[in-house]
Amino acid sequence: MIKLHSVTKYYTPTAPVLKDINLAIKPGEFVSIVGQSGAGKTTLVRLLIAEERPTRGRIEIGDWDITDIKSSVVPYLRRQIGVIFHDFKLLPKKTVMENVSFALEVAGETSSRIRQVVPQVLHIVGLGNKADRYPNQLSGGEQQRVVIARSLVHRPKMLIADEPTGNLDAINTDEIIEILKKINEFGTTILLVTHNREVVNRLRRRVITLADGQIVSDEQTGKYII
């Protein structure tokens, strides 16, 4: 599903942010990527969604070699990769349903397709009864659920969650993680990038630890060790 071959990324000639990263993630895995600030987690995410290109090495996602992917092809790649960030970036003047529908509208989907898909993904995240609410009428956890629903509309094979619980309390954090686990049970590969030690240790799934731009630990049933 995901393969990185000796991936190195420089922003300046003397300071590599990622150094010789070799990594393979199988379809359907739930993987936590952890490490302190500056370890290279955000850069890794940006490489996987083709927001950045590696300085050296090769990146494969499914059947795609995205190492030198053209900008015109990136939108098609991102329909296979759902992305969730800790900042919600919801459209404040659109309802929950309209926010989620918008992701399909900009991709040119038909109205009938939108009417079919949006209720399905809202049901998955437990917001079927709040489709007509506006973002300011929702809790932080509910807003994050809208973001998750929006990321699912293209039925991505992989979901990257970059600090999805960073702004949430413990109860909402647990609810978001349970939703991610449910999505994973459908067969979607989950990459969870997080600082949350309790979440990682409770998941007891594969944990990849980054430090100074390198993988220092990769445990199939791991813990947050830094």
Separation in Å, CA 210 to CA 32, 37, 46, 65, 134: 11, 10, 15, 23, 38
- Nearest Cα neighbor of 93 from 137, 123, 130, 153 is 137
pLDDT score, position 144: 93
SS (H, E, C) 190-221: EEEECCCHHHHHHHCCEEEEEECCEEEEEECC
Q: What local confidence, expressed as pLDDT, does residue 224 receive?
A: 86
User: How many other C-beta atoms can be found within 10 angstroms of the C-beta atom of residue 180?
Assistant: 22
Q: Which of 209, 205, 211, 194 is nearest to 86 (CA)?
A: 194
Query: How high is the pLDDT of residue 216?
Result: 95
pTM score = 0.91
Of 62, 52, 49, nearest to 3 (Cα)?
62
Question: What is residue 95's predicted lDDT score, i.e. its pLDDT?
Answer: 97
Other beta carbons less than 10 A from residue 129's beta carbon: 9
Burial 57-89 (b: 16+ CB within 10 A, else e): bebebbeeebbebeeeeeeebbeebbbbbbebe
2-219: what CATH class?
A: alpha beta
| Cβ atoms of residues 225 and 217 within 8 Å | yes
Cβ distance 80 to 153 under 8 Å? no
Report DSSP letters for 87-104, one per residue.
S----TTS-HHHHHHHHH
Burial class (CB in 10 A: 0-12, 13-18, 19+), 29: middle
Query: Taking Cα atoms as reference points, which of 45, 46, 83, 78 lies closest to residue 64?
Result: 78
pLDDT of amino acid 202: 92
Burial class (CB in 10 A: 0-12, 13-18, 19+), 196: buried
Q: For residue 188, count other CB atoms closer than 10 A to its CB.
A: 19
The low-confidence residues of the chain, meaning pLDDT below 50, are none
Q: Where are the domains of the chain?
A: 2-219
Length of the chain: 226
- For residue 9, the model assigns a pLDDT of 97
